[in-house]
Structure 1
Amino acid sequence: MSVRMERGFADVLAKDASAAQDDGAMRMGQIVCACPASLPRAQITDNRLTLAVGFSLAVLAQALVLAVLPEQGRLMAPTAERVGWPFALLLVGAALASFPAALLVDGFGRRAAFGLGASLGVAGGALAAFAVARANFFGLCVGAFWLGLAQGFALFYRHIAAQGASRDGLIVLASGAGAALLAPLLVALAASPGATLLAASGLHIGALALSVRRPHMIAAAAGGSERRLSGRFILATVAGALAWFVMSAGMLHGPLTLAVCAATPAFIGGAMGWHLFSMYGPAALAARWPNLFSPFAALAAGLAAMLAGWGAVRLGASAASVAAGLVAIGSGWGVVNIGALRLLHEGGRPSRAALAFHDLCLLGAAAAGALIVGH
């Protein structure tokens, strides 16, 4: 038996050597890349269904985190000035992930980029849950920062989908609405802040499993990218930054105000779930009836709705009025982002660096809203 195995192994080596001579002289120790070359965009696709599922998992994880993070920050912060730190670090992490996400998505492959983002979410959720169990404020801040990094990667789902058509980007945004509706149920099932954060970590595990089914690499299309900052790009970025500033201030103050109003954790989770549903729900209408959402009118109407909702949250007359204000902020945010997405992708195809700069401005404004208004 051993003689036969040795002969068979020798035959295999001989065949490999002859094949190597046919393909070109190979030498001992030569390293040959076994990875397939980057294929043309027409031959490999990342369909909007997988993009929508990945984005919805990230939104649902975000909803669970937002349902407990502001209140845990209030309970665990050593001083009143640090209450908003975990939420602000969540947004800072998302902002810092903008450029790495843009460079990795098409530079090193979408599978690696979104896998890295989901891995950070898994670790961040687990660390935040451990910090809550140990009453460790520093650990909560680090976990929130890692969760923010994961969210920054997930935000690029909409840009990738919109590269084919802006309607596809709106469909990916709309997928977050259905996911947000599941947040109150999961918060109720978790029954504790630590378990809720672990559930968010589990959702990122699902996103990680989905990322391995993505294309390894998609070659960038030649030409068609805008190299200058157009007026449409600047308007979309400025209006979007204002919307994210108000949204983050509302997300931080909303749950805290509801807690002061003696709202139950289930009510707070439900309010945040409806808030997130209203953020992504308008995108479903825009994908079905795009003519109803003129980009410029959407920016104006959305900002007006957000300011009215912020007034209701800041006033804090009752739990019901605060919840209504959160819904108004969310719907206004969704309408503004519809207008911004259409301005970005319908007037040309922005470069990856421009899209990263756009997201950096939005998320930086969100972090500023949590730090400045929350102080």
Structure 2
Amino acid sequence: MTHERRVVLSLATAQALFQTGVVLLMTVGGLAGLLLAPTKVLATLPIATVALGTATATIPASLLMGRMGRKPGFLLGTLFGMAGGATAAYAMTIGSFPLLCLGTALVGAYQGFAQFYRFAAAEAASEAFRSRAISYVLAGGVVAALAGPHLGALTRDLVPQAAYAGSFLVILGLSLTASAVLAATPLPGGGGQAQDGPAARPLTVIARQPRFLAAVGGAAIGYVVMVTVMTATPISMVAHDHHVGDAATVIQWHVLGMFAPSFFTGWLIKRFGVTPLMLAGVAALTAHVMIAVSGVALLHYLSALILLGVGWNFLFVGGSTLLTETYTPAERAKVQGFNDFVIVGVVAAGSFSAGALNEAFGWRGLNLAVLPFLAAAALIILSVMRGQPRTAQA
């Protein structure tokens, strides 16, 4: 096995372990909060603090790895995951809601580091393998989609008289295993920020590049559309007389739609180019809207949500690949940090606003409301294709 493929396999494994813990947390976090929260209104606060922890850690994580290298940063991230799992488990044993929220925020900080796995894979790969390296790492999410929800059910009563404490201990174990995998991965141990080459440009200069705008804008729009609709889906399904189990099945297929295409997204980028693939992502999200507004039967939700996941995948993998072409090694840390901070911000906004939008406009209105954002993403991507015919072939 070549060096680059060994690195990608290790990072994909770490991604699968991390993402499984996140899906597990999303499965049990609200239920654990319901047991400890002083009011039902605050039951989902432990999940919201995950986004807060991620937003807080994202830019410091990127800058830290710019100085120290990927491996120390990733190992520090797994320590946050272990601390978060242990803290949340202890919170369940003593019945402390604030401590539970602290634990989930620490898991969010772990995510602030782990979301850079895809960029580390790109940096270890040759130019010809870069887009496939990014997509293969994200393919680890397939394991999470299958394992995460079931782990939540299996570990609920693992610790006697402390419901869900066992689930959080599993997150600790997954983080510990990821730490062992990363420790054995041949990533740069320090001095991650390149010192040769031209001096780093200001972020304001970098951000004026059409490719940068397409990379960040396309990925961010794809993410906010996906998160807003996905978060509102269970609420809408139950309101239209579907069983909670049907909603869980739809979400599971949606998550598979998000990550399963990663096994071939990199090949599609290599074959057709990155901007055509991103346009295909916009088309898939538009097709989702058309199906979603056409009816509320189970098949409508299922097929629409699968397309929602595929569209997200094409825009996110494509945007991540395109972003790698917009900066020099000296600019890498701040550009990647800014990119992921923007994405975390829109994820938080989408998840917080989904319920209110669904309540105010209904399922049909919520889906129609995303069309202007998709049109904006298409225009940004088309402007790059017209101005720079040579698309990324990473």
TM-score above 0.5: yes
Q: Which residue of 1 aligns with 2:177?
A: 206
Matched, 1:373 2:347: no
Written as runs of structure 1 = structure 2, the 5 A alignment for 1:68-79 is 68-73=28-33, 77-79=37-39
Q: Which residue of 2 aligns with 1:364?
A: 345
Partner letter of residue 330 of structure 1? G
Written as runs of structure 1 = structure 2, the 5 A alignment for 1:167-246 is 167-191=132-156, 193-214=164-185, 215=187, 216-217=189-190, 219-221=192-194, 222-223=196-197, 227=201, 228-229=206-207, 230-246=209-225
Matched, 1:329 2:308: yes
Deviation digits for residues 28-70 of structure 1 (CA, Å, limit 9, x no counterpart)? xxxxxxxxxxxxxxx9998222222111211111121122224
Q: Contact between 2:62 and 2:337, CA under 8 Å: does it hold in 1?
A: yes
Equivalent position SS for 1:223: coil
Q: CA deviation at 1:96?
A: 1.9
Distance 1:324 1:199, change over 3 A: farther
Equivalent position SS for 1:351: helix
Q: CA deviation at 1:204?
A: 0.8
Written as runs of structure 1 = structure 2, the 5 A alignment for 1:248-327 is 248-255=227-234, 261-264=242-245, 271-291=250-270, 294-306=273-285, 309=288, 317=296, 321-327=300-306
Q: Which residue of 2 aligns with 1:120?
A: 80
Written as runs of structure 1 = structure 2, the 5 A alignment for 1:85-164 is 85-132=45-92, 136-163=96-123, 164=125
Q: Contact between 1:312 and 1:321, CA under 8 Å: does it hold in 2?
A: yes
Which segments of 5 or more consecutive residues in structure 2 lack a partner in the other structure?
Answer: 158-163, 357-394
Partner letter of residue 65 of structure 2? V
Distance 1:305 1:67, change over 3 A: farther
Give me the whole-angstrom Cα distance separating, in 1, the residues matched to 2:174 and 2:4.
27
Give me the whole-angstrom Cα distance separating, in 2, the residues matched to 1:293 and 1:281.
19
Which segments of 5 or more consecutive residues in structure 1 lack a partner in the other structure?
Answer: 1-42
My pick for the range that moved more, 294-303 or 90-99, is 294-303
Q: Contact between 1:57 and 1:179, CA under 8 Å: does it hold in 2?
A: yes
For the aligned residues, what is the CA RMSD?
3.5
Query: Which of structures 1 and 2 has the bigger CA Rg?
Result: 1
Q: Contact between 2:80 and 2:110, CA under 8 Å: does it hold in 1?
A: yes
Partner letter of residue 85 of structure 2? G
Q: Contact between 1:111 and 1:213, CA under 8 Å: does it hold in 2?
A: no
Partner letter of residue 289 of structure 1? L
Distance 1:83 1:219, change over 3 A: closer
Give me the whole-angstrom Cα distance separating, in 2, the residues matched to 1:293 and 1:76.
51
Give me the whole-angstrom Cα distance separating, in 2, the residues matched to 1:196 and 1:160.
29
Q: Which residue of 2 aligns with 1:40?
A: none
Deviation digits for residues 175-202 of structure 1 (CA, Å, limit 9, x no counterpart)? 3224433334433432554433322221
Q: Contact between 2:269 and 2:318, CA under 8 Å: does it hold in 1?
A: no
Q: Contact between 1:115 and 1:211, CA under 8 Å: does it hold in 2?
A: yes
Distance 1:297 1:68, change over 3 A: farther
Q: Contact between 1:171 and 1:283, CA under 8 Å: does it hold in 2?
A: yes
Matched pairs, number: 331
Equivalent position SS for 2:322: helix
Q: Contact between 2:68 and 2:192, CA under 8 Å: does it hold in 1?
A: no
Written as runs of structure 1 = structure 2, the 5 A alignment for 1:6-85 is 47-73=7-33, 77-79=37-39, 81-85=41-45
Q: CA deviation at 1:235?
A: 1.8
Return the TM-score normalized by structure 1.
0.74
Equivalent position SS for 2:337: helix
Distance 1:317 1:238, change over 3 A: same
